[in-house]
Structure 1
Amino acid sequence: MSFATLEQECHHSRVSDKQAIADAFSKAARTYDQHAAFQREVGQRLMDKLPNDLSGLSVLDLGCGTGYFTEQLLKRGADVTAFDLSYSMLEQCQQRCDGVMAQSDNVSRVSYQQGDAEDPPFSAASFDIIFSSLAIQWCHDLSHLFQMLSRMLKKEGQCYFSTLLEGSLIELKRSWSQIDKYQHVNQFHQWDQLNFALAQTSAQRYHVDSTEIQVWYDSAFELMKDLKGIGATHVDGRSAGLTKRRSLLDVEKAYQQFRNPLGQLPATYHVCLGLILK
């Protein structure tokens, strides 16, 4: 097999993978908000790092989902471009934001754009701020991604991002490993991998912090229901396979090893909060 043929096959595989991710999130667009408490907590931590007044600034909400934070950006006065891999997510975002705009007297504007963060349709120096919460873990090439984000920033622009790191959902991963040999939980980016990618950007400087967040459940079923409800069911090119009743019962049993004295089951997330300065 030639190098050109191998490169074409890798490209086709990644395109197919992104389409599968988009399809999974599209199916969950109407249920997402009911199951996204953790996502809102992380996004709010990131939002708290932004200026309160964004009047006159152009902001890209990269991986906007149903627009929970797009709405907040608008209320702070920003002109927002809502960008997502899923058309259905963008539809939910528009429904939310149209209601806000209709009741608002500010002059903020919002536009909607579907696309892949690793192949963005935006020209250089398009945005004052890029906001992206829990989206880039679905990207393959972090070095390329961060170069694109830096390129899209205006001079002295800022990119605020959050992403999941390896070790996230470790309890679910270990529980599934006792049931079968298949991969049911995504492999997230490593801390060193993320820092290496950032060091390769053209940005003047960057800063990253990592934190551990635990979400508590009464059962493993509830955790898996949340993951399905937000559309996080695509695992590295194959279905996460959470629908077989026997397997689910076995996972529930295996998960009990993590139960705390209060009878709660943890879902541990390792979260990176980052800032890129142009």
Structure 2
Amino acid sequence: MHKQNIAREFSRAAAGYDQAAVLQREIAGRLLAGSPHLSGRVVDMGCGTGYVSRHLPDGLQVLALDIAQGMLQQARHLASADAYVNADAEALPLQEGCADAVVSSLAVQWCHHPARMFAEVWRVLRPGGWLCLTTLGPRTLWELRAAWAAVDQEEHVNRFASLACWQQAAGHGWVNQHWQARDSVALYDSARQVMRDLKQLGASHTDAAEVHRGRALAGRQRLQALEHAYEQVCSGEALTVTYDVFYAYLQKPCNPL
């Protein structure tokens, strides 16, 4: 998926993002609750509408950074941080050792080269600084993927890397590494509501969508088939949407080699 398409989709979603981002706020809150004591200058990388920035402890100097200009504008409108930068996590326009911490919730899964992102974070962190992040694993939206598989053979759901892949990308230089995998589950009344929320979150774009942009991928008959298949997958009164979430807390050593 091209970075400009990612930025465009999230910019379009910025105004209505917070209304649909209930589970995203829960995950961000859990990330912050488990974070070590943070002080000094903190970069909120992939800040979105600035929820994490606004809920960091008082007394910090917060830089909100996002690739989507629309998200950054919304974060600024909500007075989320002290400064705002439109940039890519894989090419941070920040000085070496300028940050005491980098926090990032549900953003880095859109990186094309996670190892490059980790290298950039390492570069901008001071010795002893922390990276605190959440990202998505391969079981994310498994119900929707299974339901679509009963309808057609196209890729409607993004695929995300395994925990082992993220750990490998992070490298071995960090100290006090702590990784945790934990599911977060949302309940919905209909598959249409699931699709509507994913679109409102800016997370409905896939490579397949680019290939088939000219086609009506979600016509009435297909949505009816999807709803029936989703009900069969969940086999309960409510439809579940699972987010396979990885939490990571990584410290750069005080005397890195």
TM over 0.5, yes or no?
yes
Going from structure 1 to structure 2, the CA distance change for 1:182 and 1:204 (only over 3 Å counts) comes to same
Select which of 101, 110, 118 maps to 1:146. Answer: 118
Equivalent residue, structure 1, for 2:135 = 163
> Which amino acid is the alignment partner of residue 233 of structure 2?
F
Aligned residue type for 1:274: A
| Matching residue within 211, 222, 230 for 2:193 | 222
Equivalent in the alignment of 2:14: 29
Is residue 2:70 matched to residue 1:88? yes
Give 1:250's match in structure 2, choosing from 219, 225, 233.
Answer: 225
Task: Answer yes or no: is the 8 Å Cα contact 2:147–2:233 preserved in 1.
Answer: no
Q: Find the counterpart in structure 2 of residue 273 from structure 1.
A: 247
Distance 1:184 1:148, change over 3 A: same
Q: Which residue of 2 aligns with 1:8?
A: none
What SS does structure 2 have at the residue aligned with 1:231? coil
How many Å separate the matches in 1 of 2:207 and 2:114? 16
Q: 2:24 matched to which residue of 1?
A: 39
Equivalent positions of 1:1-150 (< 5 A) are: 17-50=2-35, 54=38, 57-73=40-56, 76-97=58-79, 110-150=82-122
Deviation at 1:245, TM superposition (A): 2.6
**Identity in percent:** 37
Q: Does 1:174 align with 2:156?
A: no
Gaps of 5+ in 1: 1-13, 99-108
Structure 2 alignment gaps of length 5 or more: 253-257
- The CA RMSD measured in Å over matched residues stands at 1.8
**Partner secondary structure for residue 222 of structure 2:** helix
Secondary structure at 1:80 match in 2: strand
Cα separation, 2, equivalents of 1:242 and 1:268: 23
Deviation at 1:242, TM superposition (A): 5.7
TM-score (norm 2): 0.91
> 1:122, CA displacement in angstroms?
1.1
Kept in 2, the 8 Å contact 1:146–1:201? The answer is no
1:235 maps to amino acid:
T
Structure 1 residues 242, 131: closer, same or farther in 2, change over 3 A? farther
Conserved 8 A contact 2:181-2:244 = yes
Residue 22 of structure 1: CA displacement? 0.4
Q: Deviations 1:80-139 (Å, cap 9, x if unpaired)? A: 1100011111111011116xxxxxxxxxx6100001111111121111010100001101
Q: Secondary structure at the match of 1:216?
A: strand
Q: Which position in structure 2 is the counterpart of 1:259?
A: 234
Give the distance between the partners of 2:244 and 2:217, measured in 1 at CA: 22
How many residue pairs end up in the alignment? 248
> Does the aligned pair in 2 maintain the 1:70–1:97 contact within 8 Å?
no
Counterpart Cα distance in 2 of 1:258 and 1:219: 13
Distance in 2 (CA, whole Å) between partners of 1:236 and 1:78 is 38
Cα displacement (A) at 1:187: 0.8
How far residue 50 of structure 1 moved from its aligned partner, in angstroms, is 2.9
Counterparts of 2:187 and 2:91, CA distance in 1: 36
Q: Deviations over 1:45-104 (max 9, x none)?
A: 00112356x55x10000011111121112x522101100011111111011116xxxxxx
Contact preservation (8 Å) 1:150, 1:202? no
Amino acid at match of 1:169: L
Q: TM-score, normalised by structure 1?
A: 0.84
